[in-house]
Chains A and B, each alone.
Chain A
Amino acid sequence: MKNLTESAANSDRAIESATPPVEHAPLGRELRVSPRPVQSRRRRIRESAVFWPLLALLLILLFDALYAPGFFKIGVQDGHLYGNLIDVVNDGAPLMLVAIGMTLVIATGGVDLSVGAVIAISAAMGAVLINPALGNKLITNDILTKDATNTPLPIIVLADLAAGTLCGLWNGFLVSRARIQPMVATLILMVAGRGIAQLITNGQIMTIYYTPYFWFGNGFILGLPVSIYIVAVVLILAWIGVRKTSIGLFIESVGLNSKSSYYSGINEPNVKLLAYTFCGFCGAIAGLILSSYVHSADANNIGLNYELDAILAVVMGGTLMSGGRFSLFASVLGALVIWTFTITVYTVGVPANALLAAKAVLVLAVIILYSDYMRRILNRLERKGRQSSRSRHDAP
């Protein structure tokens, strides 16, 4: 770095000495192109990423406080915390993980529709490796329901993660090397992936009886569910990965203008490859937690519609689907909003058959709030507010 500034300084001196004095247009002329003061816009961007999902969350919680006070009850049972809030966080963990991975993919200007299928594949992987009947010719009910595993747990976890990461690599390869449009590329795995999961489980819904496996989705550390620790660890590692290295900047740059990024020397294919691989990795962890939570791997239904929920969470977190600036934390908040909403709906007593319709209303609300139209109205309100406060100051 020192050399750079030095040599730059050297060339500066050379340039300065050769520069004849020139009149430049007054500052005011160029300021014209940026009428809005810069600071507030930056602040506005930073605010809005976390601001909106947080606001939504608070609104839902407010609603709960008024109409479902039981929502907030936290008790202690079997040595750990217990209650609706805990459920929200525990149930929502897989979605939060998928949202983290999906954020990076969407930020590069793409999308990963195969996440649900990746969850299924990862869950199937785990179930099949546990299956005590694997390799046995004679399968009795005793063997099938035995609380034992055919493969050591660490290997299972590794295999799960590897399977998901491989799926992510595949998607990443299709997008970054074969140059296939992301929606189409990941659509393939979305369609074929569940078939592959079925292949792994041989078409059966596999129930898992191995109790140590249940720890991921049902265990507790210091009273809090294990899954939330996993989410926290992944979130922190991901944040360090994107903000303490140049990866975050490159992802944003690639998402905003992939050609210019390439000309600037950014290895655009690798950036995209990384994003999709990481998304697959997150899907794998989510699959692990989910299958552990429900004690089974149903290749058809596990993780169903997760990709759609994840995209919704990322959009709520302020990331544009066309790519660009992103906030991991805001996406996680978005996932929390979705899940809090779901549990609220259950708690309030809305019948099960109305949940999907209620969710549609949530999506509609997100759509309207995040629309351009809304943004314009809010800007206008803000400008009016600033003007009136200024006039208050200027008034004689």
Chain B
Amino acid sequence: MSQAETRTMLTMKGITKSFPGVTALEDVDLTLRQGEVHALMGENGAGKSTLIKVLTGVEHLDHGTIALDGKPVQVRSPQHSQSLGISTVYQEVNLCTNISVAENIMLGREPRRFGAIHWRKMNELAKQALQRLDIYIDVTQPLGNYSLAIQQMVAIARSLEIAHAKILILDEPTSSLDTNETNLLFDVMRKLKSEGISIIFITHFLEQVYQIADRITVLRNGKLVGTYDAAVLPRIELVAKMLGRSVTDLDAMARVKAKSEQRQAKPIIEAKGLGRKGSLEPVDVALYGGEVLGVAGLLGSGRTEMAKLLFGVDTPDSGTLTVNNQPVKNFAPLESLKRGVALCPEDRKAEGIVGDLTIRENIILALQARFGWFKFLDKSRQNAIAQHYIELLNIVTPSPDQLVKNLSGGNQQKVILARWLATNPDALILDEPTRGIDVGTKAEIQRMVLQLAAAGKSIVFISSELEEVLRISQRIVVMRDHKKAAEYSGDVDDQMVMHTMAGNL
């Protein structure tokens, strides 16, 4: 990988873009060299997605220039940007799951014979396109039969085949992938690098950035903070640049952790042999008030499945669940709510917020559900509760009547948290509460979790970010392959946990 005479594939200079009342980007520069993986980082609202939208023609820039391979261009539309060789693969993949893999790759340029689609040739070409990425699968099966990771590969293959992409933009590709799948993706990216394709890699995951990226560009508040060599920039400094804070603040956070003496004697939730066919092997776990129980494990290891069983979304096939000494017979979210157990689900958009309802309505929703149809919280009481939590959690909004869908990811997460806090639960299960959220809000939420535990609640903290789990938990449960692999309390380091996850312990 000689960087000696690498050309600059893309030069964006002085990019400025405003929306009514908002300056999303101000004088931002970005350069992309041939064959490099360039990470684009910044908190939510920093301007990353706007920059990409300007590059791909979804939005038009107000000021600034874009040059591709030295030649200035004006990107008019997404179609135009594709024809220029710029391709984007989004987190949701954006392919069609009902048609075959081959069609997903080739449709639009499919080979024809006498006017009709030449299926055999199309399948052959698709197979080759995937082989280029070292992927070998049956291309005649519907895309929906494959995992998200493979679907992403297919999307990448399409970008290369159809759009002949020279610049590939990957928008948060690893958010739903486990470690194996992420490594698979990185292998593909390295292969593409060696072929001279430039990749813009948008992500929140610090470790991954250091694994794969050559250079890092950090945005903050619509402005460029700087572009750095990944090999040179220390991690802690990167985080500081993204937060706009000094390094010492972060250290301070790492030390805020409730003492384990605060743990109560009797468990609030006790699960014995709780299991469900196909999703979780029988598991024993106990949750005590006054402590944070961290749950670590790879994606698909059974963490969310366990959370769902504890909250009653799923009904177990085996084992018993006891809440506050009462055995649980009826498994439903409403019942769990009544018993004082709450779950903040993993998928914020699909399972959490009701985007078109106001902040106020979202906050009181679960509480009202617990009260039922007839015990109605009138408008003034709703407002009182909502206002209380807006202030408490520092939800930034001009009014509680704002629609939740207009908030940033971090604020949406706070609204969901408020919803559950309002029901005053004894046990609160948080499934990936800081995923896709800027570092500043992440810290706030982590702090909040510790304070809730200090107040006597039992918190379950599920997260893919190992250091986060380690930082705030008093006990850690490690899940692997749908069963509980180990439980640690006291001081444990990330090496031990990772080995457990990998199956070595």
Interface residues of A (CB under 8 A from B): 1, 4-5, 7-8, 10-12, 14-15, 18-20, 22, 24-25, 27, 29-39, 41-42, 244-247, 249-250, 252-253, 256-257, 259-267, 324-325
Contact = CB atoms under 8 A, between A and B. Distances in A.
B8 interface: no
Contacts of A42: 401
A262 B351 CA distance: 8
A325 B354 CA distance: 12
B357 A244 contact: no
A74 B440 CA distance: 69
B408 A33 contact: yes
Given A22-B444, A38-B401, A264-B419, A259 B376 contact: no
A15 B392 contact: yes
Contact of A246 (B354, B372, B388, B457): B372
B422 A8 contact: yes
A7 B355 CA distance: 28
B17 to A, nearest CB: 12
A30 B411 contact: yes
Query: What 5 A-B pairs come out closest when comparing CB atoms?
Result: A30-B396, A265-B369, A35-B21, A32-B22, A265-B334
A249 B368 contact: yes
| Residue from the set B374, B408, B419, B424 with the largest chain A CB neighbour count within 10 Å | B424
| Residue from the set A12, A20, A32, A250 with the largest chain B CB neighbour count within 10 Å | A32
30 contacts: A14-B454, A15-B451, A22-B443, A24-B396, A25-B440, A29-B221, A29-B396, A30-B397, A31-B396, A32-B22, A34-B406, A38-B398, A38-B401, A38-B402, A41-B403, A245-B376, A246-B369, A246-B372, A246-B375, A256-B354, A256-B355, A257-B355, A260-B352, A260-B354, A263-B352, A264-B419, A265-B334, A265-B336, A265-B369, A324-B356
Interface residues of B, number: 70
B388 A257 contact: no
A32 B45 contact: yes
A33 B407 contact: yes
Contacts of A1: 377, 381
A269 B169 CA distance: 42
B353 A260 contact: yes
Given A8-B388, A32-B22, 13 more contacts: A15-B452, A19-B451, A30-B408, A33-B406, A34-B402, A39-B399, A244-B376, A246-B375, A247-B373, A250-B369, A252-B357, A260-B354, A265-B334
A316 to B, nearest CB: 20
Contacts of A325: 356
Contacts of A5: 384, 388
B483 interface: no
Nearest to B20: A35
A259 B350 contact: yes
B451 A246 contact: no
A298 B424 CA distance: 58
Interface in B341-381: 343, 345, 350-357, 361, 365-377, 381
Contacts of A246: 368-369, 371-377
Contacts of A8: 388, 421-422, 424
Contact of A266 (B24, B369, B388, B396): B369
Given A4-B424, A30-B411, A265-B366, A12 B392 contact: yes
Interface string B443-456: 11001101110110
Given A20-B256, A22-B444, A265-B333, A35 B369 contact: no
A253 B365 contact: yes
Contacts of B356: 256, 324-325
Determine chain A's interface SS by DSSP, over half rule: helix
B114 interface: no
Contacts of B399: 38-39
B331 to A, nearest CB: 13
B45 A266 contact: no
B45 A257 contact: no
Given A35-B20, A264-B419, A265-B334, A15 B398 contact: no
Nearest to B396: A30
A30 B454 contact: no
A18 B221 CA distance: 29
Contacts of B440: 24-25
B184 interface: no
Contact of B351 (A14, A38, A253, A259): A259
B455 A11 contact: yes
B313 interface: yes
A264 B366 CA distance: 5
B357 A20 contact: no
Contact of B451 (A10, A14, A38): A14
A325 B356 CA distance: 9
A32 B373 contact: no
A27 B396 contact: yes
B355 to A, nearest CB: 7
Contact of A34 (B357, B397, B447): B397
| Residue from the set B221, B369, B447 with the largest chain A CB neighbour count within 10 Å | B369
A18 B392 CA distance: 13
B71 to A, nearest CB: 33
Given A20-B256, A244-B376, A246-B376, A253 B21 contact: no
Nearest to A4: B424
A253 B354 contact: yes
Nearest to A7: B424
A261 B337 CA distance: 13
A18 B253 CA distance: 12
Contacts of B397: 30, 34
Nearest to A325: B356
Interface string B405-424: 01110010000000101101
Interface string B125-145: 000000000000000000000
Given A32-B21, A249-B368, A263 B424 contact: no
Contacts of B353: 257, 260
A24 B402 contact: no
A358 to B, nearest CB: 35
Contact of A265 (B370, B373, B394): B370
Contacts of A33: 22, 45, 406-408
A257 B343 CA distance: 17
B308 to A, nearest CB: 10
B1 interface: no
Contact of A260 (B336, B350, B368, B385): B350
A52 B313 CA distance: 42
Contacts of B337: 265
Contacts of B45: 29-30, 32-33
Nearest to A32: B22
B24 A245 contact: no
A18 B397 CA distance: 24
